[in-house]
Amino acid sequence: MKELPDYFVQVPEAFALVEEGVYRCSGVLSGEQIKYLDTLSLKTVLILSVEGPSRAFSQYLKSKGIRRIHLGMTRWQSNLGWKPVSEELIKDALECLLNKANHPLLIVCSSGVRETGTLVGCLRKLQHWNFNSIVYEVKWQRT
């Protein structure tokens, strides 16, 4: 990948710190946004959407030796009714997320909100956040 000057670096869409060593953002990244990821010293990228990462993002992960876990592809289910994502996807993603050996870790989905927001909401519940605080964080991330 061609190196971009520092003044072309952009923060990815829907980027946020979840907790120390855990970040989230949209999985649709431009070259300028991919360069921003260098500042995070990532070890793992957890992909929750069915769609795979762009060629540029895949090349970046490979060139930096960042582990890619694409749960969205392996845990996708077509008929979930009212559920935004499958329970299996959330369970497996939480196991990956809670394993400190995977940190620093970036969670991505196509929008950075739907699957990622559900996962972070479940993490917050495990952290004993009250429901109103969880809903507030999810709404804040969508704006």
Nearest residue to 27 (alpha-carbon basis) of 136, 114, 118:
114
| Cα–Cα dist 80/44, whole Å | 28
Of 25, 96, 109, 122, the catalytic one is 109
Residues in contact with 127: Cβ distance below 8 Å, sequence separation at least 6, in sequence order = none
Q: In this structure, are residues 23 and 107 in contact, taking their beta carbons and an 8 Å threshold? A: yes
Alpha-carbon gap, residue 22 to 44, rounded angstroms:
10
Residue 26 to residue 110: CA distance in whole angstroms:
6
109 in catalytic set = yes
Among all residues, which ones are annotated catalytic? 109
